């Protein structure tokens, strides 16, 4: 790059001027020679530089250093540095303060970056090359001693140094503290932008500012202010144009005169839109239209450089031409009235939304003795999210933007005590803001932010026709904007407050309450009361003499709220302790629960279960075959024949538990998990130590069938009967008209390179065609596919799996306009049919031949490493061998016909020699053609009778699984993942075949939707209740969409599904089968 820049400098006769800049910098200490004793050669970086020519200015050419340049595989200097805070966010606040007072002032610091020194140890990262003379033979190494313009962190470093320097004078009585405060809030990088009230303050401010910054070696220059005598009265201020004579601001649109639109694409529209720098929001109603165009192009996935449709192109060109009418449009810089004696300032924030966008605008109303003036301070408009949301939610987004925008305006102008008014035409949003209720997450987050930034009582309702924010929320043309009162605000703001269009909101309760967060109904609150009976004698209120108040319950409270048996018992124990401590204030129990307390709580729960279940006569009859009794605690136990054995009481006389009860199921599941997921017999033995469960074996087996972890390890996939061959496998077509293909390999060739084999298989006649590929890319496969078509003919139907190269080839061919091609030729579109993911057996007719090919190659190649040409030859021989294999019965008799093979349909005769064509006349040719046609007809008849006629379905002698149902929860199997990590999903769509048997299903997981064959899914005997609700919501939309067995293998539009929030579920293109 140094030599390229040097040649350019010599070509433009600028080398001497460029070299003089470096000499000047060296004399000023800005750059220095690389020290010879520099020992950190491995910690250094070199910056390339190039000349920038500026015809106007004191310096015609100057060097610019590229800190973003990098070598391949290595980061650039800018990538290694922190950029600091985003300084662009300061521009709106600076412009507001610039408009605040009567006299605007701007200046800049001369060579600001070059006034900041860099630490000596960091200068090795700022090295560069330059010539050591005019011979350009020996370049010398230089390095920067000051901050470099073009380095990412330089703007923040300058801002930080200026702030550090100015803060040293905050309590210095030598300088005016107001000047220090103004300087601290008026710099953007090296530009000073501020305003003052009095003309008499200008010169003292300039002089004092100059002295303060000069002490830090910063030279403030280029002073311009309102009413100065500079003949050039137009100045650029932070991207805007300031006419000092008229004291007006306007957007810089001078580039429109020279800008040429060669093509209208997404890239061009984005470029033109961002060329209009409007940090305040003066033109946001006009800029909404191209933003909406860009959003539509993103939705339609239009490429960056493709020309847009004619309608959009005409719309954009019309918008672009009308921009010229805004070139001379300007607004007053100072928003204060010219007359003095102001009486009151109020800030009005307007919010509005449409289905396309939402916006907010902040106006200031200044009331003086003889005039009322309204001016636009800031505005923002944003396009609505791609995901469709309701208008009230968009209105809430507009209110949120309005609250933020108003807060930033008040903070920038330091207006702490001004009157604030917030306006919206949405009564629903007003209801959300002014009511202290718990809303949905989306609404609640934004309402809380609005209530934090603003006072809810300051929000008012006005008619939509009176809302100025309606303009930026809907957008308008440049002509409409120039004819509007957008910058001056609504007319009614010029009137007294009594005449403002404040209306009393009439709330649509249904719309407001729709976003109220759903909470558990009070009927599900704890349905029992622990009544604490306080008596005079604490001793007489003991548990032995009084009924325990925990037993006063409504049926089921103790298991309704707890899914864990242990948590249920511990909660009951804590409640019993609480009741005991309330009755015995002098002897309270503290600390962790004891074993005795937990045991008593468990017995209490067991007694409540028995009382609840055996209170019914039908259930008591189940005890007739048992000898039962109640122990001292009132718990029902069963007598056994081992009463006299020396053993625990629970084992000799176990507690009776019902078979169908939620507490019993939780107990069984807890013991199952505690004992490392014990099996049926072991778990029965463990439970028998304490309990006698009615129908225990059946009950335990039922509970174990619900353990997800056990189901993962005892997985049984779904099986289906074999299906008949599809029509495309048995119909009369040409050879290779219907094909399937796959890739095999890699094979290692001489030199260490790899190659892959692409096998093309005729789906009907079982012939093969082999191609050698040098890579697995889509491009390599397409070249192989072209060679196949050139030799074997063009197929009409192609089967394959979901390889990325095959998907890429299909997508590439989809981009071709086949309709237009069909109009001018007989070429038809190739139909690509992809097998479901992870279902390799669906491509069995080519997988079998892949195995045959591998078997031959293993025996032929052994451990040999062939060259590419040798491997191609071997593949041709292999292809010939496979195509010579018999398809029909091979007879030992000479009188029988030779067996059919794929070569019977590929080769007419086996002779190598070529007959003398000069001796063949027209009559012989015609006879030969008829003879060949008869042979082909005879061979096809033999193929039908000897091959297709022998294809029968075998009796598989195995039991097939039950039918799969919608909503069933399944484990989704995978070969490369442990079964413990298999994802869960539930069936949302069944895709039956022509015989009505479902062999393919669509499932929904936590990460999206999957298409899987039934052999890859494992039922968990669980159904999804959410699916039933989702199915009700989508029934109406999908009522007319019938799913056929081929729906996953054709090009028709797929059935759409929606989530609970209304979002359309989009399938990945790779799985769009």
Read off the CATH number of the domain in which 1008 is found. Answer: 2.30.30
Cα separation, 42 vs 716, whole angstroms: 62
- DSSP letters spanning 808-827: HHHHHHHTS-HHHHHHHSS-
**Which domain covers residue 135, as residue numbers?**
1-243
State the DSSP H helix or E strand holding residue 743, giving kind and residue range, or none if neither. strand 738-748
Across 155-174, average pLDDT: 89
Task: Please indicate, yes or no, if residue 525 is contained in any of the structural domains.
Answer: no
Q: What is the pLDDT of residues 541-565, one digit of tens each?
A: 444 444 444 444 445 566 667 788 8
In the DSSP assignment, the letter for residue 894 is T
Tokens of 844: 């069995």
Q: Which of 813, 786, 791, 983 is nearest to 906 (CA)?
A: 791
Residue spans of alpha helices (H) in 884-1017: 903-906, 922-946
More confident residue, 531 or 601: 601
Domain end marker among 712, 742, 760: 712
161-167: list long-range contacts, CB under 8 Å, 24+ apart: 161/116, 161/216, 162/187, 162/216, 162/218, 165/213, 165/215, 165/216, 165/218, 166/212
Q: How confident is the model at residue 455 (pLDDT cuts 50, 70, 90)?
A: very high
E strands, 811-893, are: 831-834
Cα separation, 466 vs 488, whole angstroms: 14
Across 194-223, average pLDDT: 92
pLDDT at site 289: 94
Answer yes or no: is pLDDT of 842 > 80: no
Answer yes or no: is pLDDT of 917 > 60: no
One domain, residues 52 and 178: yes
Return the ∠ at Cα 278 (arms to 276 and 279), rounded to 5°: 140
Tokens of 698: 């059946």
Please say whether the beta carbons of 142 and 58 come within 8 A. no
Distance of CA 66 to the CA centre of its chain: 34
Answer yes or no: is pLDDT of 1026 > 80: no
pLDDT at site 266: 93
pLDDT at site 896: 58
C-alpha atoms less than 13 angstroms from C-alpha of 162 in its C-beta half-sphere? 28
Task: Please indicate, yes or no, if residue 946 is contained in any of the structural domains.
Answer: no
Q: Which of 158, 355, 381 is nearest to 290 (CA)?
A: 381
Cα separation, 1071 vs 807, whole angstroms: 9
What angle do helix axes 662-674 and 680-688 make, rounded to 10 degrees? 110
Q: How confident is the model at residue 940 (pLDDT cuts 50, 70, 90)?
A: low
Cα separation, 581 vs 593, whole angstroms: 13
Residue spans of alpha helices (H) in 584-707: 595-613, 617-620, 649-652, 662-674, 680-688, 696-704
One domain, residues 749 and 803: yes
Q: What is the mean pLDDT of the chain?
A: 80
Domain end marker among 515, 545, 578: 515
Answer yes or no: is pLDDT of 669 > 70: yes
One domain, residues 193 and 44: yes
One domain, residues 101 and 235: yes
Q: How confident is the model at residue 806 (pLDDT cuts 50, 70, 90)?
A: low
State the DSSP H helix or E strand holding residue 991, giving kind and residue range, or none if neither. strand 984-992
Cis peptide before 746 (omega within 30 of 0): yes
Answer yes or no: is pLDDT of 1072 > 60: no
770: Cβ contacts below 8 Å, ≥ 6 apart = 757, 758, 759, 760, 853, 875, 876, 878, 879
Tokens of 305: 């450089």
pLDDT at site 929: 63
Please say whether the beta carbons of 182 and 103 come within 8 A. no
Q: Which of 1020, 965, 963, 955 is nearest to 997 (CA)?
A: 963
pLDDT at site 1062: 54
Please say whether the beta carbons of 49 and 22 come within 8 A. no
Q: How confident is the model at residue 718 (pLDDT cuts 50, 70, 90)?
A: low
Task: Please indicate, yes or no, if residue 258 is contained in any of the structural domains.
Answer: no
Q: What is the pLDDT of residues 486-510, one digit of tens each?
A: 988 899 999 988 889 888 888 888 8
Q: Which of 721, 614, 713 is nearest to 659 (CA)?
A: 614
Answer yes or no: is pLDDT of 403 > 70: yes
- 84-93, 783-792, 858-867 — which is least confidently predicted? 858-867
One domain, residues 92 and 177: yes
SS3 state of residue 923: helix
Task: Please indicate, yes or no, if residue 275 is contained in any of the structural domains.
Answer: no
Answer yes or no: is pLDDT of 726 > 50: yes
Provide the CATH number for the domain around residue 400: 3.30.420.10
One domain, residues 652 and 756: no
Across 327-337, average pLDDT: 88
Task: Please indicate, yes or no, if residue 313 is contained in any of the structural domains.
Answer: no
Cα separation, 857 vs 882, whole angstroms: 11
One domain, residues 352 and 427: yes
Beta sheet of 234-237, edge-to-edge order: 234-237, 240-243, 248-251, 331-332
Q: How confident is the model at residue 956 (pLDDT cuts 50, 70, 90)?
A: low
Answer yes or no: is pLDDT of 377 > 90: yes
One domain, residues 880 and 814: yes
Main-chain phi, psi angles of 265, to 5 degrees:
-130, 180
- 370-384, 730-744, 882-896 — which is least confidently predicted? 882-896
pTM of the model: 0.55
Burial of 127 (0-12, 13-18, 19+ CB in 10 A): middle
Answer yes or no: is pLDDT of 115 > 50: yes
pLDDT at site 121: 86
Return the ∠ at Cα 367 (arms to 361 and 371), rounded to 5°: 110
Is the four-CA dihedral 101, 470, 452, 382 of positive or negative sign?
Answer: negative
Is the four-CA dihedral 533, 537, 542, 544 of positive or negative sign?
Answer: negative
One domain, residues 371 and 484: yes
Across 193-214, average pLDDT: 93
Across 1055-1073, average pLDDT: 47
pLDDT at site 452: 95
Across 130-146, average pLDDT: 82
Q: Over the range 869-907, which residues count as b (16 or more CB within 10 Å of their CB) and which as e?
A: eebeebbeebbeebbeeebbeeeeeeeeeebbbbebbbe
Please say whether the beta carbons of 694 and 625 come within 8 A. no
Tokens of 422: 């917030």
pLDDT at site 256: 86
One domain, residues 808 and 675: no
One domain, residues 754 and 820: yes
Task: Please indicate, yes or no, if residue 339 is contained in any of the structural domains.
Answer: yes
What residues does 151 pair with on adjacent strands? 149
- 446-450, 665-669, 1015-1019 — which is least confidently predicted? 1015-1019
Across 187-191, average pLDDT: 93
Answer yes or no: is pLDDT of 36 > 70: no
In the DSSP assignment, the letter for residue 117 is B
Task: Please indicate, yes or no, if residue 976 is contained in any of the structural domains.
Answer: yes
E strands, 335-399, are: 342-353, 357-368, 372-383
Tokens of 38: 């520099």
Is the four-CA dihedral 547, 553, 556, 560 of positive or negative sign?
Answer: negative
Is the four-CA dihedral 384, 388, 392, 397 of positive or negative sign?
Answer: negative
Return the ∠ at Cα 870 (arms to 869 and 876), rounded to 5°: 95
pLDDT at site 1044: 36
Please say whether the beta carbons of 407 and 397 come within 8 A. no
Domain end marker among 243, 268, 298: 243
Number of domains observed in the structure of the chain: 5
Please say whether the beta carbons of 901 and 885 come within 8 A. yes
Q: Over the range 699-717, which residues count as b (16 or more CB within 10 Å of their CB) and which as e?
A: bbeebbeebeebbbeeeee
Q: What is the pLDDT of residues 385-401, one digit of tens each?
A: 998 899 999 999 999 99
pLDDT at site 936: 64
Answer yes or no: is pLDDT of 166 > 80: yes
User: Hey, how many other C-beta atoms are within 10 angstroms of the C-beta on 811?
Assistant: 14
Cα separation, 550 vs 607, whole angstroms: 12
pLDDT at site 98: 95
Answer yes or no: is pLDDT of 876 > 60: yes
More confident residue, 1014 or 805: 1014
Task: Please indicate, yes or no, if residue 628 is contained in any of the structural domains.
Answer: yes
Tokens of 261: 């639109």
Q: Which of 396, 378, 381 is nearest to 459 (CA)?
A: 396
More confident residue, 978 or 221: 221
One domain, residues 511 and 586: no
Q: How confident is the model at residue 156 (pLDDT cuts 50, 70, 90)?
A: very high
Cα separation, 484 vs 475, whole angstroms: 12
- For the chain, percent of residues with pLDDT exceeding 70: 78
């Amino acid at each position: 790059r140094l030599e390229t820049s040097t040649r350019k400098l010599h070509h433009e006769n600028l080398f001497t001027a460029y070299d003089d800049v470096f000499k000047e910098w060296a004399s000023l200490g800005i750059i220095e020679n690389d020290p010879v004793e520099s020992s950190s050669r491995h910690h250094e970086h070199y910056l390339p530089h190039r000349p920038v020519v500026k015809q106007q200015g004191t310096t015609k050419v100057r060097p610019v250093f590229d800190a973003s340049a990098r070598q391949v595989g290595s980061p650039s200097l800018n990538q290694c540095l922190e950029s600091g805070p985003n300084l662009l966010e300061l521009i709106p606040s600076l412009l507001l303060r610039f408009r605040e007072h009567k006299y605007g002032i701007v200046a800049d610091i001369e060579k600001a970056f070059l006034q900041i020194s860099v630490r000596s140890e960091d200068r090795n990262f700022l090295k560069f090359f330059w010539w050591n003379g005019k011979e350009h033979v020996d370049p010398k190494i230089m390095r920067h001693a000051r901050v470099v313009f073009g380095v990412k962190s330089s703007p923040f470093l300058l801002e930080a140094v200026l702030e550090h320097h100015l803060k040293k004078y905050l309590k210095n009585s030598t300088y005016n503290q107001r000047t220090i405060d103004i300087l601290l809030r008026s710099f953007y990088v090296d530009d000073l932008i501020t305003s003052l009230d009095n003309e008499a303050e200008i010169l003292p401010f300039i002089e004092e500012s100059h002295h303060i910054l000069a002490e830090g070696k910063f030279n403030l220059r280029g002073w311009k202010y309102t009413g100065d005598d500079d003949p050039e009265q137009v100045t650029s201020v932070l991207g805007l144009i300031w006419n000092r004579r008229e004291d007006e601001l306007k957007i810089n649109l001078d580039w429109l005169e020279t800008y040429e639109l060669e093509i209208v694409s997404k890239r061009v529209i984005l470029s033109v839109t961002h060329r209009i720098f409007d940090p305040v929001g003066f033109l946001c109603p006009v800029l909404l239209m191209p933003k909406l165009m860009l959003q539509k192009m993103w939705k339609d996935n239009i490429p960056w450089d493709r020309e847009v449709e004619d309608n959009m192109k005409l719309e954009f060109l019309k918008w672009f031409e009308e921009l010229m009418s805004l070139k001379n449009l300007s607004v007053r810089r100072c928003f204060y009235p010219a007359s003095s004696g102001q009486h009151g300032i109020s800030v009005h924030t307007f919010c509005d939304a449409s289905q396309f966008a939402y916006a907010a605008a902040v106006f200031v109303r200044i009331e003086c003795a003889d005039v009322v003036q309204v001016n636009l301070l800031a505005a923002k408009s944003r396009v609505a999210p791609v995901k469709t949301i309701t208008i009230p939610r968009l209105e809430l987004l507009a209110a949120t933007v309005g609250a933020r925008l108003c807060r930033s305006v008040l903070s920038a102008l330091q207006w702490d005590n001004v009157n604030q008014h917030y306006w919206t035409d949405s009564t629903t949003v007003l209801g959300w803001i002014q009511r202290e209720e718990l809303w949905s997450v989306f609404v609640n987050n934004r309402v809380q932010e609005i209530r934090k930034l603003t006072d809810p009582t300051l929000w008012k309702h006005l008619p939509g026709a009176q809302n100025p924010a309606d303009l930026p929320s809907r957008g308008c043309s440049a002509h409409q904007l120039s004819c509007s009162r957008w910058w001056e605000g609504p007319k009614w703001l010029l009137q007294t407050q009594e005449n403002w269009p404040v209306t009393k909101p009439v709330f649509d309760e249904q719309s407001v309450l729709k976003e109220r967060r759903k909470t558990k109904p009070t009927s599900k609150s704890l349905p029992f009361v622990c009544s604490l009976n306080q008596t005079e004698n604490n001793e007489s209120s003991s548990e032995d003499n009084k009924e325990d108040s925990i037993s006063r319950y409504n049926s089921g409270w103790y298991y309704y709220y707890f899914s864990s048996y242990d948590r249920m018992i511990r909660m009951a124990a804590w409640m019993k302790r609480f009741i005991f401590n309330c009755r015995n204030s002098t002897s309270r129990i503290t600390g962790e629960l004891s074993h005795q307390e937990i045991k008593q709580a468990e017995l209490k729960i067991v007694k409540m279960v028995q009382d609840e279940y055996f209170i019914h006569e039908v259930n008591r009859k189940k005890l007739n075959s048992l000898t039962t009794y109640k122990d001292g605690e009132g718990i029902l136990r069963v007598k056994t024949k081992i009463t006299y054995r020396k053993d625990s009481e629970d084992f000799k006389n176990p507690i009776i538990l019902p078979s169908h009860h939620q507490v019993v199921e939780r107990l069984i599941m807890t013991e199952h998990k505690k004992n490392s997921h014990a099996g049926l017999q072991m778990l029965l033995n463990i439970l028998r130590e304490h309990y006698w469960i009615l129908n225990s074996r059946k009950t335990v087996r039922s509970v174990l069938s619900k353990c997800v972890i056990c189901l993962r390890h005892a997985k049984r996939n779904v099986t289906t009967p074999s299906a008949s061959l599809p029509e495309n496998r048995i119909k009369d077509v040409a050879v290779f008209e219907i094909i399937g293909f796959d890739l095999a390999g890699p094979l290692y060739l001489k030199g260490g390179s790899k190659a892959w084999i692409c096998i093309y298989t005729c789906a009907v006649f079982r012939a093969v065609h082999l191609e050698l590929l040098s890579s697995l890319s889509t491009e390599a496969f397409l070249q192989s596919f072209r060679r196949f078509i050139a030799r074997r003919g063009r197929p009409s139907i192609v089967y394959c799996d979901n390889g990325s190269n095959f998907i890429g080839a299909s997508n590439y061919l989809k981009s071709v306009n086949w309709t237009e091609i069909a109009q001018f030729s007989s070429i038809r579109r190739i139909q690509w049919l992809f097998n479901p993911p992870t279902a390799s057996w669906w491509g069995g007719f080519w997988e079998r031949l892949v195995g045959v090919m591998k078997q031959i190659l293993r025996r032929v190649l052994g451990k040999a490493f062939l060259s590419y040409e040798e491997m191609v030859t071997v593949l041709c021989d292999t292809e010939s061998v496979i195509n010579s294999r018999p398809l029909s019965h091979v007879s030992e008799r000479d009188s029988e016909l030779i067996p059919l093979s794929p070569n019977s349909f590929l080769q007419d005769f086996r002779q190598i020699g070529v007959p003398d064509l000069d001796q063949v006349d027209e009559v012989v040719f015609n006879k030969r053609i008829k003879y060949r046609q008869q042979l082909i007809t005879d061979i096809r008849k033999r193929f039908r009778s000897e091959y297709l006629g022998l294809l029968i379905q075998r009796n598989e002698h195995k039991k097939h699984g039950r039918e799969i149902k919608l909503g069933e929860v399944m484990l989704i199997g995978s070969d490369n993942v442990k079964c413990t990590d298999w994802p869960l999903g539930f069936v949302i769509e069944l895709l039956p075949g022509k015989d009505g048997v479902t062999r393919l299903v669509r499932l929904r997981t936590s990460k999206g939707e999957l298409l899987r064959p039934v052999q890859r899914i494992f039922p968990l005997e669980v159904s999804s209740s959410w699916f039933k609700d989702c199915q009700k919501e989508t029934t109406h939309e999908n009522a007319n969409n019938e799913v056929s067995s081929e729906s996953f293998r054709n090009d028709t539009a797929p059935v759409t599904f929606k989530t609970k929030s209304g979002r359309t579920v989009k399938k990945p293109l790779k799985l769009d089968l």
